[in-house]
Amino acid sequence: MPEYKAPLRDIRFVRNELLSFPEHYATLPGAEEATPDMVDAIFEEGARFCEQVLAPLNQSGDREGCSWSEKGVKTPVGFKKAYQQFIESGWPSLAHEPQFGGQGLPESLNLVVNELCGEANWSWSMYPGLSHGAMHTLHTHGTPEQQQAYLTKLVSGEWTGTMCLTESHCGTDLGMLRTKAEPQADGTYKITGTKIFISAGEHDMTDNIIHIVLARLPDAPEGTKGISLFIVPKCLPDDDGSAGERNAVTCGSIEHKMGIHANSTCVMNFDGATGFLIGSPNKGLNCMFTFMNTARIGTGLQGLAHAEVAWQGALSYARERLQSRSLSGPKNPDGPADPIIVHPDVRRMLLTIKSFAEGNRALLYFAAKYVDIMQHSESEQERKAAENLLSFLTPIIKAFMTETGFESANLGLQCLGGHGFISEWGMEQNVRDARIAMLYEGTTGIQALDLLGRKVLMTKGESLRAFTKIVHKFCKAHEKNKELKAYIPPLAALNKEWGEMTMQIGMKAMKNREEVGAASVDYLMYSGYVILAYLWADMARVAKAKLAEGTTETGFYTAKVQTADFYFQKILPRTRMHKACIEAGADSVMAMEAANFQV
């Protein structure tokens, strides 16, 4: 398997040259310590840890997997030791409040560390990664006592966290969940029920795991209006704050999965376990969305991670593998064949991967700036505007980035031909690990309904306009720039069409609500391609300016421009297909009677 190399040059390009993070931090309240020197030092040290500690455990962890016994779940060799190094270096506390033991740095900085960890070893990264949602939920909705008891331990990394939502009979339809919460005289609750697909629900890396659990109170209303949220620790804290008596929560089994073998996916049994209410009764779904939005952005990051791994593995192989001759004449005349990177179809695959990896990195970091603003701005108006834009972007980040991440992983394997199917190269593991990302935290279909139904149509297009205004201003500012004539006119046309198409779907939906479901996935993918077009146009602008200045990194910036050209000419036309499918409507989707779906 090719050696993982942290993509720090591209990370710095996106953060410093495209999105101006140094200036962003200089004006962000509470980010005074995030100086360029400090940020660079953090990235260099994070890269070293990921390259030297996590990446070597990726394939061995996949082969060994997790093992279950009545005593608990054992993680692969080296995982626990790596986690101890991780917390000793202070990585879990990077972006959390100092009052809880955090370092108070911006979330956008922490996101880069999460990216590097995920690229180096996605299964391992899930153990600390899932704690972030639990921490955000406790920080937003927990009482001071709950924060002191649990948040400080989660921030230090001494304990980890999970979210326990799904049950075998209901999946995404949480209104059907059956887990019960019975009030006790001392103010606690007895939680009884079974949750499935709980990532990192049981492991040997910490001595306590804090489960955030959805359950129903005895007199709760039906459906989603009757769901409450609870803290259910694996071990109840002692008076001194350490992990004490074992709670009545156990791992019944771990799933045998297609991928992410080194992360334990658990069936969790709650047998009258002691729980503590978070927030108000029957308002658990509201509290949960704090958790879910964090998790969905993190899952989008997974799509980026698998695209980057595909890029590094496929590029390394394509440069070295000799096979056939170039159609335009030998490029390696002294060898028996040319390296496969000379062949147009291999280049098509490589450039597709590159355009998604680098485009999605720009999208994720673009969103991260607004996370910072939402969390730290002193202006309520700025915070609200950032929250609205993130609400629109989150389902796109989760679904589009995981769909294109999986496509990239597949193309990465394809570049290796038959060798891609062999485990020693690591590309088939990347495909297997990537596949789950389109499923958990809400499938692509669920995200698409959320985007088109809730975020766009229910706001009468307001959330969409928040983004299309950004694109419109960009296009107006550069419409006379001859260097950008390959990008600005098609981008401006798509931006206009986006709004018009949304209105047409809304009009159809007034007559037939099935039109929303029939159009939603095509609408989400169309949206993702347009957003990346905006970001690639902007990256081309920056790169062309650097080349005009006479940079010494001619190869890097030229590659940026050429990748932008490839994206606009070979990837962006996919919007035509999605538009045609949207315009075809719901009739052909819904016409067949259910009884006629037969084997």
Taking 70 as the threshold, does the pLDDT of residue 1 lie above it?
no
- Choose between 538 and 134: higher pLDDT: 538
Task: Give the residue-averaged pLDDT of 112-132.
Answer: 96
- The pLDDT value recorded for residue 296 is 79
C-alpha to C-alpha distance for 172 and 192, rounded to whole angstroms: 20
R_g of the chain, CA atoms, integer Å? 24
The DSSP element (H or E) to which 110 belongs, if any, is: helix 107-120
Task: Give the residue-averaged pLDDT of 355-372.
Answer: 96
CA dist 439 → 263, 303, 443, 519 (Å): 16, 12, 4, 19
- Condensed to tens digits (0 to 9), the pLDDT of residues 61-106 reads 999 999 999 999 999 999 999 999 999 999 999 999 999 999 999 9
Is residue 547 classed as helix, strand or coil in its secondary structure? helix
Q: Which of 202, 308, 407, 441 is catalytic?
A: 441
Q: What is the largest CA-CA distance in the chain?
A: 84
- The pLDDT value recorded for residue 77 is 98
- Condensed to tens digits (0 to 9), the pLDDT of residues 166-200 reads 999 887 778 889 999 999 999 999 999 999 999 99
Taking 70 as the threshold, does the pLDDT of residue 338 lie above it?
yes
CA dist 212 → 111, 140, 163, 282 (Å): 22, 14, 5, 15
- Condensed to tens digits (0 to 9), the pLDDT of residues 557-575 reads 999 999 999 999 999 999 9
Residue 457's pLDDT band, with cuts at 50, 70 and 90, is: very high
Percentage of the chain beyond pLDDT 90 is: 92
- The pLDDT value recorded for residue 174 is 80
Taking 70 as the threshold, does the pLDDT of residue 114 lie above it?
yes
Taking 90 as the threshold, does the pLDDT of residue 299 lie above it?
no
Lowest mean pLDDT among 50-64, 294-308, 346-360, 427-441: 294-308
Say which residues have a Cβ less than 8 Å from residue 428's Cβ, sequence separation at least 6. 413, 420, 421, 422
- The 10 Å Cβ neighbour count of residue 579 is 17
Taking 80 as the threshold, does the pLDDT of residue 494 lie above it?
yes
Q: What is the pTM of this model?
A: 0.97
Task: Give the residue-averaged pLDDT of 275-284.
Answer: 94
Per the annotation, the verdict on 441 as an active-site residue is yes
C-alpha to C-alpha distance for 117 and 125, rounded to whole angstroms: 6
